[in-house]
Structure 1
């Protein structure tokens, strides 16, 4: 009797367990299962391995370590003439409560999509600074207001990722087999419990803040995130390309920017004025997020087509969608240069024009090395766009 075990998401093969030999790496379709070491069952992940594995070397030195820092749980025992490697689990990965807790935390990290959560934290922290006019505004009230915004929006962000994974388990078996609900790291019950806890925390914190702008922002964010994923004749917006783009724009642009800005103004007792910088941030991030949503779907064409999700990439092709999104992003950066150049401040004018020109140049260079038909290449480009977003949250302070 044998068992199979999926490797990390960046590899093209999987591990095959044979009691008389151990584990064999096979170049075939992606699958996932738990493995056994003696009488004990444990989930394992290994790093990417596209080349032949040298049996004389440790598994970690024979394969390229993935960017997600997957845990190295195996060592090489031998290799076959076909380039298959026989490996065994590391001895230090026994089933203990410490390792179980570590695995659950690793699973939650993937479940919450940390790059998106980090973007939310950076975004809220940056926008919260826009209403400040002097050093005196860095008061205890400001920091309390910042936490009041950070916690519910962060919970709402993770909720949006979690509810999407709960609904899309079958699709993710094809597109993203490394996700915790598909891999078995989390059960469906655990997933639902996390979603329920996030929902409660999200609204409890928003209500306790006694801030109308913040509560409205969190409520709209929550509703859009729910409408994006859940099955309902009028919802499931992710299967409707135009509504999917609107959802991403609403989540990352139309809600966080103005509501956090107004919330901090309210906390500091300032008059509620919609400034030039927050107006630019709302428009820029909405356009950027809509493009992010379309690019996010490019690597998922196989699963989306099989389940009838007519995304832009399924309808018009990966290359056309990639090219269109790139042009829209460049147009957004061009507009940012024009807006920055119109500033009355020489410092703001210089930083905004040079900064956006540099970011646009980096975008073009990265796009030239991206293959839209290669899921790994497109996913890497998608993650690169988040780095541009992080940089933009610095530049918005010079759009005055």
Structure 2
């Protein structure tokens, strides 16, 4: 939910650029934010509906796995929030927003639903493809074009938008791989062959850290070679250098034999994700 909130606000402000934050922009932001958060609840809820047996091992505190909520309540919450999100998107009259919501739901169903040819989370490449399609492509393009359309500006892909898409592509791959590392025990028991189950925790962990460091190095190079004003290049270079150093130091402190330590590092990666989205509106 925090990631969705940050990304929608960040990309919407990036679409504004140097334009004033008018009432029309505020309405467009609310039109995007409300259904995006509802759809987030729907997709996560759908995943929990089909993952009760796995979550009883990996995450017994979740409402369905713990028995706090019945399966019927879980299905009702997922269905109602998904329906409300689609209705809000349709009422907004924004085709980029509606396409983003519908596409996210379709991939969420394919990712979680235990039906023939679905439940793509069992396959590392398909699982990663679902997450990066939403986080790196749909979110960036959908909410950027939604804001542009709401304000009556042409839907032109800008260099800052391309940068955000490229950087979040790496981040989405890492999140897709990293999220399975603390859940190896339950996934192995349920026969879910994630990359962490197949290759081992340590290898996947350092693959994730390496991918993020490559993303930060690429961001630094892109900033140095940019034609933006000098202060923007300096600020972006310093920010990504600091994030890369902090990530490496945090990774070195992680105990590969302690699932809670790995989970804490995973949550730290999400904080870096939030930080990047807080910075993106300043790109020029």
Q: Same fold (TM over 0.5)?
A: yes
Which position in structure 1 is the counterpart of 2:213?
A: 330
Q: Which of 256, 264, 269 is residue 385 of structure 1 equivalent to? A: 269
Q: Which of 129, 134, 137 is residue 246 of structure 1 equivalent to? A: 129
Residue 13 of structure 2 aligns to a residue in which SS? Answer: coil
Separation in 2, partners of 1:133, 1:318: 41
Deviation at residue 397 of structure 1 after TM alignment: 3.0
Question: Structure 1 residues 384 and 259 mapped into 2: Cα distance closer, same or farther (>3 Å)?
Answer: same
Q: Comparing both structures, which one devotes a greater share of its residues to strand?
A: 1
Separation in 2, partners of 1:309, 1:124: 31
Asked if the contact 2:111–2:119 (Cα under 8 Å) also holds between the matched residues in 1, the reply is yes
Residue 126 of structure 2 aligns to a residue in which SS? Answer: helix
Deviation string 1:2-61 (CA, Å, 9 cap, x unpaired) is xxxxxxxxxxxxxxxxxxxxxxxxxxxxxxxxxxxxxxxxxxxxxxxxxxxxxxxxxxxx
Deviation string 1:74-123 (CA, Å, 9 cap, x unpaired) is xxxxxxxxxxxxxxxxxxxxxxxxxxxxxxxxxxxxxxxxxxx0111111
Computed over aligned residues only, the root mean square deviation of the Cα atoms, in angstroms, reads: 1.1
Deviation at residue 398 of structure 1 after TM alignment: 3.9
Separation in 2, partners of 1:350, 1:248: 31
Deviation at residue 141 of structure 1 after TM alignment: 1.1
Asked if the contact 1:128–1:260 (Cα under 8 Å) also holds between the matched residues in 2, the reply is yes
Separation in 2, partners of 1:154, 1:395: 21
Asked if the contact 1:298–1:372 (Cα under 8 Å) also holds between the matched residues in 2, the reply is no
Deviation at residue 177 of structure 1 after TM alignment: 0.8
Separation in 2, partners of 1:254, 1:286: 8
TM-score, scaled to structure 1? 0.69
Asked if the contact 1:349–1:398 (Cα under 8 Å) also holds between the matched residues in 2, the reply is no
Residue 397 of structure 1 aligns to a residue in which SS? Answer: helix
Separation in 1, partners of 2:56, 2:275: 34
Separation in 2, partners of 1:133, 1:298: 38
Which position in structure 2 is the counterpart of 1:90?
A: none
Deviation at residue 371 of structure 1 after TM alignment: 1.9
Asked if the contact 1:253–1:285 (Cα under 8 Å) also holds between the matched residues in 2, the reply is yes
State the structure with more CA Rg: 1
Where does the alignment leave 5 or more consecutive residues of structure 2 unmatched? none
Asked if the contact 2:35–2:89 (Cα under 8 Å) also holds between the matched residues in 1, the reply is yes
Q: Comparing both structures, which one devotes a greater share of its residues to helix?
A: 2
Deviation at residue 182 of structure 1 after TM alignment: 1.4
TM superposition outliers: structure 1 runs of 4+ over 6 Å? none
Residue 129 of structure 1 aligns to a residue in which SS? Answer: helix
Asked if the contact 1:252–1:289 (Cα under 8 Å) also holds between the matched residues in 2, the reply is yes
Is 1:197–2:80 an aligned residue pair? yes
Separation in 1, partners of 2:195, 2:91: 40
Give aligned pairs, total. Answer: 283
Higher relative contact order (CA 8 A, sep 6+): 2
Deviation at residue 286 of structure 1 after TM alignment: 2.1
Deviation string 1:316-365 (CA, Å, 9 cap, x unpaired) is 00000011111111001100001111222101100110000000001000
Separation in 2, partners of 1:176, 1:126: 30
TM-score, scaled to structure 2? 0.97
